Structures are given as structure tokens and as C-alpha cells.
Chain A
Amino acid sequence: MSHTPLVRVSEVSVAFRGHTVLDGVNLTVEPGRIVTLVGPNGAGKSTLLKVAVGLLPPDRGRVAFGARTVGYVPQKLVIERILPLSVRRFLAMAVRGPVGHSQLEDALTLVGAGHVLRRQVADLSGGEMQRVLLARAMLRRPDLLVLDEPVGGVDMAGQAELYDLIAALAHRDGVGILMVSHDLHVVMAATDEVVCLNHHVCCAGHPETVSRHPEYLALFGPRVAGSLAIYTHAHDHGHLADGSVLPLDPDHPVHQHGPECHHG
């Protein structure tokens, strides 16, 4: 059975003015899977997203697209006040052909922004804009959603709701999701694969695996990395005060390893 992933990035390198931003990066997004990019500022996360949606041709490497329709949410979108544009129109623009009023309202309600349909886009707050952008991407009925910090500027309660919505899109509707996020703990719980990026892919795999990878620890430091691990551990073991493993089940003296887990 041959199947094409929604997008496959192979050995991609990108340089801006001689400064290497991406170096031999591989990435694959399959239907129904959530792939989350983490990494420090300037690590090339947004650049990789732009390569993966075809906005930026790589200097080296290949990008193969299997997705039919892509929904894209940029990190930030500022619409000048001089451009008169209602939210309704902004949403309708994303869809080819006519789109019903109720369809637009439903999409906004899903992202918790049902009240802004008649507002001008320039009058939206940062958090409202992010919600509208997500609704707009969903209206395209994409099979691949690419989200660059989709909940930036959204209030705490809203963030959790939006991540639940994104998880449902992937696990219920089979949409492939590629996103950048800084909200390590919230995201990790619902992510199928974490890619830790710092120009090159430091490590990738299941959140639990990545959160214990030495390169990941080096990149984020033990404090951040540790707080993450608490949320993603399968907790078949406890930890002593010094962090060493305390077996919970006497039949399994050491904690379980995932399939991609290479540490001792």
C-alpha cells in the first residue's frame, strides 16, 4: 500500500544572506498526526513552516506535498486600518465559491469568537485575531493545518480550548497538524511527535522520549525540560528528590522505554 504523507521535507537547508537558518532538516506530517516544533527563538521554526507550506523554496533539499488543501495560520497578521474589511469578508475570502452565513458563524463559534463576525478586522484584539485566523484556516476544510504559534495572545482558558480543538481536528477528523508552540506543557500532552529544532533537528519523537533527550535538556535547561516531563511521563515510576528513578511497580524495577527511546 503506497501512501503519500501530507508533506515530506527532506534534507532541507535554507540560508538568509549567508546565515544558515535550516541545515539538513527532515520532517514528515501524516494524516491525523500532530507534529509540534519546539526550539529557542531564531531556531528556524517559522522558516521551516514556510518551507512546509511552499511559501519559501529551500536552497537545498526537497519538499513533497501530498496535501489537497492547506490551512495556514501565520505567527502574526496585522491588517492596516486603511483597508476596510469585515471579519465575515475576511473569512469568506479563504473559501473558493459561495459560503453560507451559518458556516462562517459556526467556524467562529468553534474557536470561541462567535461575537466578532460583523466587526472590522482592524478592530480585533491580538487574541481575537488568532482565533479568527484559526477559524479561517479551518473553513478551508484542509487536510493539512500549519499553525505558527496559533494561540499567541489568547487568554489562558482560551489556549486550552483551542489546543483541545486542534487535537480533535487531528484525532477525530484525521487532519495532519504541523505547529510551532512555546507552551511546552499544554502542547506536549496532546502531541504525537515533537521535533526539537535549533537550525538542525536536535531530536524528534514522542514527547516523552524527546523530553529526556540530552540535546533537548541542553537546549531548554533542566528546569523547563523537567516541568515538561512531569506532564508527559507515562508515570510507571516515580522520582526521588535527586531525580533518580523510583520504581512504583516491584515487578518492573526500571521504568519502561518507548520504541524510540535510546537512553540508558
Chain B
Amino acid sequence: MDEFLLRAMVAGLGLATVTGPLGCFVVWRRMAYFGDALAHTALLGIVVGLLLGTAPLVGVVAVCVVVALLLAGMRRDGRLASDSLLGILAHGALALGLVLLSTMERVRVDLMGWLFGDILAVSWTDAILVWGGAGLVLILLAAYWRCLVAMAVDEDLARVEGHNVGRGRIVLMLLVALSVAVAMKVVGVMLITAMLVIPAASARRVARTPEQMAMAASVAGALAVVAGLAGSWHYDTPSGPSIVVAAVALFVLSRLLPGRAS
């Protein structure tokens, strides 16, 4: 196996490890639109990073965290961030990012790479960053697991039972923001939500507990990464979309399984 393919595999598997459990919360709490909004604002983060002369990833993390906290605050005062509001934010941020990027002539930006991922151009440094970010997300998830699962069941019950729901919400949104930054290099901003939602949805069919579903989602994501990269290698297709196509194929297969708890 060529080394660049190995690097891609390592980074992709790191991503799948974290999008599995985190994606479960995204589907349990109907946060797919929220994930989209964050992912699309990540493009603005790249612009910010370029303007400040820092690494794009720094801008992405900063902008995603700020937007996540703003959205968390909007939810707390009872006015729910509605689907349409998130849609406006997502597409507005994406369009604004594209417009701003096009005006920055002095930098050459691999736009396709940011939008759809360029996993085959991942360096060892990138791979280490992916695993570092993934490790951080997993540690935080483990620390807040009980609280987050209780909130996924019902926020009112969780609060009456003594869980700190306000903090749980912020933690979850920050985790999604972090995972967006981690995922960007691998699948690109357009397809990040796919990596969160599709493996989790595929895992539902074989799981009877939240933990089983989280682990199965990681496995499904990892299978999609391996199959997608293999396909990308054999048929010379773009890597990010190939991974997502493989994930969708897995999802379809999972629906054909005899349901344990349909």
C-alpha cells in the first residue's frame, strides 16, 4: 500500500471513531441541521484563518466554537433555533465564505479540497491532528456520557434527576464543532453531516442499547472509510464522496438485515 493511502486510512479511521458516537447524539437529538450549519460556517473559518495569517484549521475551530456557543445560547432562552433559521445560517455562511474566498486573489485556495475533502493529500501532521482531536472528543464524550444519554431521552427528566442540562448542551455543541474541524480535511464541509448521520442511522438496526449503537456506528463509519478509499483508489474517484457513497451503501444494507429492534 502506498504511504499516502496509509495516511488517508489512518486519518479516516480516526474520524470514523469519533463521528460514530457523536453522530448518534446528532440523530437522537435531531441535530442534523445544526451539524450542517456548523459545517458550512467552517468555510467562513477558513477565510478568517487566511485573513489572520494563521493555519486555516485555527480559524475553523474558532468560528465553529463561536457559532456553536451562539446557537447554544439561543436555545437556552427558549427560542428554539428553528430549522429554517439554521438553514439560513448554513447556506448564508457557505455562500459568504465562497464569495470572500473568491476575492482573495493572493492566496491559491484548493476550494474543491475544502468543500469535498482531500483525504489523499493528508499529511502525517494532519493525521496526528485528526487523532488528537478525536481523542479529545472521545474523552469529553466519555466524561459526559450519562448526562448526554439522559438528555437524549428527555431534557426535563434529566434536569429533575440532577443532570446539568445547560452544560451538557454546550459540551455537545462544542463536540460537534470540534468534530467538524476534524472531519473537514477528510470529507470536506459539504459532507461532514453525512459522516455523522449515516453511520449512526445504519447502526440503529443492530443495536439494543445506546452504547451498542455508538460502537456500531464507529464500525460502520470505519467500514465506509475503508471501502470508500479502496473505491477511490481503484476507480480514481474523489475520496470524500466515495466514502459517503460507501456509507450510504452500508445504510441500505443495514435496512435489509432482519431487524432485532426495528
Contacts and interface: CB of A to CB of B under 8 A. Distances in A.
B202 to A, nearest CB: 12
A93 B150 contact: yes
Interface in A92-137: 93-94, 96, 120
A26 to B, nearest CB: 22
B75 to A, nearest CB: 15
Contacts of B212: 84
Contacts of B149: 93
B83 interface: no
Contact of A70 (B150, B153, B160): B160
B54 to A, nearest CB: 39
Contacts of B160: 53-55, 70, 72
- Most chain B beta-carbon contacts within 10 A, residue among A70, A85, A120: A85
Contacts of A50: 156
A157 interface: no
Contact of B209 (A54, A70, A72, A89): A89
Contacts of B30: 80
Given A82-B28, A84-B212, A93-B149, A74 B204 contact: no
B157 interface: yes
A156 interface: no
A84 B154 contact: no
A241 interface: no
B154 A85 contact: no
Contact of A85 (B146, B156, B201, B210): B210
A84 B261 contact: yes
B208 A120 contact: yes
A79 interface: yes
A94 B154 CA distance: 12
A70 B160 CA distance: 7
A58 to B, nearest CB: 14
Interface in A42-92: 50, 53-55, 70, 72, 74, 77, 79-80, 82-86, 89-90
Given A84-B204, A93-B150, A77 B157 contact: yes
A96 B147 CA distance: 12
Interface string B193-228: 000000001001001111011000000000000000
A239 to B, nearest CB: 44
B209 A74 contact: no
Contacts of B159: 54-55
A82 B201 CA distance: 8
Interface in B2-30: 27-28, 30
B258 to A, nearest CB: 16
A109 to B, nearest CB: 22
B161 interface: yes
A140 interface: yes
Given A80-B28, A89-B209, A93-B150, 12 more contacts: A54-B160, A72-B156, A77-B154, A79-B154, A82-B27, A82-B28, A83-B153, A84-B213, A85-B153, A85-B209, A85-B210, A86-B209
17 contacts: A54-B160, A55-B156, A72-B156, A74-B154, A77-B154, A82-B201, A83-B28, A84-B204, A84-B208, A84-B209, A84-B210, A86-B208, A86-B209, A89-B209, A89-B210, A93-B161, A140-B161
